[in-house]
């Protein structure tokens, strides 16, 4: 697990011995935060690599392949997303993409681990000024507690967490989904990353089943993400009368996206057949 001296590579091992790795030129930083083990590497071809508890969070070159599909499909399917909540996302990449939408009046981010924010601010070229944007409200705290207690209402809630095992498991529970549903405006989207399609299939199915109990409609989609055992899965919960199968292509043009292609929005919904069948039976 982790850094391999002989290969000079960082390798993340998934279940069943499936590995994803990067050649490393420098070991920059390693610390035990209050919540998790944080490692930072310089890679040969993908910029800096951020690792939490042994799992790849992002590489600087290609992080948009995760942040674009997490943020823009829901933002562009919503007619007027003004108030946004991000749970997790300490590196600031999700916040950055959210703030690119002119409709946004306020984006609240609740990250449990302050060290992730600090380290990202110092070492990573990811947030690109998002933390300083006047529309951003960045809070250090427990997202589960925040969502249970807040009086605010949101048009879009985005969960940018670690895997549905370990500390983030609570973010994939029916109770959490209910709190999220309650804190959405009459019409709203909830989106969460939901793990590797091939290697966390059971977690994906479980999360989908739980979300279906709570939201008016639930969609699933997948996207190839650089640095993860791809394809990666995403789940979208809908409250009220919103359609996730269509996006505003006019608004999308101004964003000049690199990975997610709004003009081919329908290609998001591609899943390996066996996974689609498992989801349909869930
Ligand atoms: N959020 C983490 C996605 C989960 C990655 N899982 C894994 N490699 N096993 C990404 C943080 C980027 N804002």
128-165 per-residue burial string, b: 16 or more CB within 10 A, e: under 16: eebeebebbebeeeebbebbeeeeeebbbbbbbbbbbe
Q: Is 162 in the pocket of ligand 1 (CB under 6 A)?
A: yes
Distance in angstroms between the alpha carbons of the first and the last residue of the chain: 33
Does residue 86 share a domain with residue 54? no
Does residue 8 share a domain with residue 71? no
Average pLDDT over residues 156-169: 89
pLDDT of residue 7: 86
Decide if 162 contacts 192 (C-beta within 8 A): no
Rounded to the nearest whole angstrom, what is the distance from the C-alpha of residue 247 to the centroid of ligand 1? 25
| Structural domain of 145 | 64-281
Does residue 245 share a domain with residue 205? yes
Which tokens sit at 221?
A: 């989609």
Domain termination site, one of 59, 80, 105: 59
Atom 4 in ligand 1: which residue has the minimum CA distance? 162
Does residue 135 share a domain with residue 257? yes
Q: Is 190 in the pocket of ligand 1 (CB under 6 A)?
A: no
* Atom nearest to 93 CA in ligand 1: 13
Distance (Å, whole) CA 28 – CA 280: 45
Residue whose C-alpha is closest to residue 77's, from 203, 254, 236, 280: 236
Distance (Å, whole) CA 239 – CA 187: 5
Does residue 55 share a domain with residue 78? no
pTM higher than 0.95, yes or no?
yes
Atom 12 in ligand 1: which residue has the minimum CA distance? 57
Q: Is 56 in the pocket of ligand 1 (CB under 6 A)?
A: yes
Does residue 68 share a domain with residue 55? no
In angstroms, what CA-CA distances link 51 with 1, 55, 263? 12, 5, 33
Q: Is 193 in the pocket of ligand 1 (CB under 6 A)?
A: yes
Rounded to the nearest whole angstrom, what is the distance from the C-alpha of residue 17 to the centroid of ligand 1? 18
pLDDT of residue 268: 98
Is the pLDDT at 166 greater than 80? The verdict is no
Distance (Å, whole) CA 78 – CA 156: 8
Domain termination site, one of 59, 76, 106: 59
pLDDT tens sequence across 30-53: 999 999 999 999 999 999 999 999
Taken as a whole, the chain contains a residue count of 282
What percent of the chain lies above the pLDDT cut of 70?
Answer: 100
Angle between helix axes 273-281 and 201-214 (nearest 10 degrees) is 40
Does residue 200 share a domain with residue 186? yes
pLDDT of residue 5: 85
A 10 A CB-CB count for 282 gives 16
Report the mean per-residue pLDDT for the chain: 97
Domain termination site, one of 39, 59, 79: 59
Is the pLDDT at 1 greater than 70? The verdict is no
Does residue 156 share a domain with residue 238? yes
Does residue 253 share a domain with residue 128? yes
* Atom nearest to 63 CA in ligand 1: 12
**Nearby residues of 58 by Cβ (< 8 Å), 6 or more positions away:** 49, 50, 66, 91, 93, 126, 227
Instruction: DSSP letter for 268, please.
Output: G
Output the domain CATH number for residue 179: 3.40.50.150
Domain count, the chain: 2
Of 91, 113, 155, 160, which one is the catalytic site residue? 160
Does residue 74 share a domain with residue 38? no
pLDDT of residue 164: 80
Does residue 132 share a domain with residue 172? yes
Rounded to the nearest whole angstrom, what is the distance from the C-alpha of residue 232 to the centroid of ligand 1? 10
Q: Is 120 in the pocket of ligand 1 (CB under 6 A)?
A: no
Distance (Å, whole) CA 151 – CA 168: 23
Is 216 marked active-site?
Answer: no
Atom 10 in ligand 1: which residue has the minimum CA distance? 57
**Nearby residues of 118 by Cβ (< 8 Å), 6 or more positions away:** none
pLDDT tens sequence across 120-162: 999 999 999 999 999 999 999 999 999 999 999 999 999 999 9
Q: Is 55 in the pocket of ligand 1 (CB under 6 A)?
A: yes
């Amino acid at each position: 697990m982790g850094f391999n001296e002989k290969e000079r590579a960082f390798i993340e091992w998934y279940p069943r011995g499936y590995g994803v790795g990067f050649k490393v030129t420098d070991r920059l930083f390693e610390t035990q935060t209050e919540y998790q083990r944080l490692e930072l590497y310089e890679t040969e071809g993908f910029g800096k690599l951020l690792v939490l508890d042994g799992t790849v969070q992002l590489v600087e070159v290609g992080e948009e392949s995760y942040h674009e599909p997490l943020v823009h499909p829901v933002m562009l399917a919503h007619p007027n997303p003004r108030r946004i909540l991000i749970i997790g996302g300490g590196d600031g990449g999700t916040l950055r993409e959210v703030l690119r939408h002119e409709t946004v009046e306020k984006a609240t981010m609740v990250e449990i681990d302050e060290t992730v924010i600090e380290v990202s601010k110092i070492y990573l070229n990811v947030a690109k000024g998002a933390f300083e944007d006047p529309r951003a409200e960045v809070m250090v705290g427990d997202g589960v507690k925040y969502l249970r207690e807040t009086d605010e209402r949101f048009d879009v809630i985005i969960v940018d967490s670690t895997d549905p095992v370990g500390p983030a498991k609570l973010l994939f529970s029916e109770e959490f989904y209910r709190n999220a549903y309650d804190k959405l405006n009459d019409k709203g989207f909830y989106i969460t990353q939901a793990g590797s399609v091939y290697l966390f299939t059971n977690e994906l199915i479980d999360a989908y089943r739980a979300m279906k109990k709570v939201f008016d409609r639930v969609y699933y989609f997948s996207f190839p993400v650089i640095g993860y055992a791809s394809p990666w899965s995403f789940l979208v919960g809908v409250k009220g009368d919103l359609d996730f199968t269509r996006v505003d292509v006019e608004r999308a043009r101004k964003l000049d996206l690199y990975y997610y292609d709004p003009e081919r929005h329908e290609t998001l919904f591609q899943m390996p057949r066996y996974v689609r069948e498992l989801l349909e039976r869930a």
